[in-house]
Amino acid sequence: MRLRLLSSALAVALAALVCLPAGCGSSNDVSLQGAGATFPAPLYKRWFLEYYKRHPDVRVNYQAIGSGAGKRRFTEGVVTFGATDAFMNKAEIEDVPKDRGVVLLPMTAGSIVLCYNLRGAPDDLRLTRQAYADIFLGKIRQWNDPEIANANPGVSLPDVAITVVRRADSSGTTYNLTNHLSAISETWKAEKGTGTSIKAPADNVIAGKGNSGVAAMIQQTPGAIGYLEYGYGELAHLPMAHLQNKAGAFVKPGPESGAAALATAKVPENLHVNLPDPDGEGSYPIVTCTWLICARHYADAKKGEELKKVVHFCLTEGQEYSDQLGYIRLPEELRTKCLAALDQVTY
Position 200 scores a pLDDT of 75
Residue 145 C-alpha from the chain's centroid: 30
Question: 258 and 118 share a domain?
Answer: yes
Question: 248 and 321 share a domain?
Answer: no
Taking Cα atoms as reference points, which of 176, 159, 290 lies closest to residue 228? 176
Position 12 scores a pLDDT of 47
Calculated CA dihedral for residues 15, 208, 193, 338, nearest 10 degrees? 0
- Write the CATH number for 164: 3.40.190.10
Flag whether 86 is in a domain. yes
Question: 296 and 254 share a domain?
Answer: no
pLDDT-flagged residues of the chain (< 50): 1-5, 12, 14-19, 22-24
Q: How many domains does the chain have?
A: 2
Question: 130 and 240 share a domain?
Answer: yes
> Using one digit for the tens of pLDDT, what is the confidence trace for 34-76?
999 999 999 999 999 999 999 999 999 999 999 999 999 999 9
> Using one digit for the tens of pLDDT, what is the confidence trace for 252-271?
999 999 999 999 999 999 99
In angstroms, rounded to a whole number, what is the distance separating the alpha carbons of residues 274 and 74? 22
Question: 95 and 130 share a domain?
Answer: no
Question: 96 and 115 share a domain?
Answer: no
Residue 109 backbone dihedrals phi, psi, to 5 degrees:
-145, 160
SS3 category, 45:
helix
In angstroms, rounded to a whole number, what is the distance separating the alpha carbons of residues 12 and 9? 5
Position 22 scores a pLDDT of 46
Cβ neighbours for 73, distance < 8 A, ≥ 6 positions apart: 35, 36, 65, 79, 82
Range of the domain at 243: 111-262
Question: 187 and 116 share a domain?
Answer: yes
Alpha helices in 30-171 (DSSP H): 41-54, 67-75, 90-95, 129-137, 146-149
Question: 295 and 234 share a domain?
Answer: no
Position 201 scores a pLDDT of 77
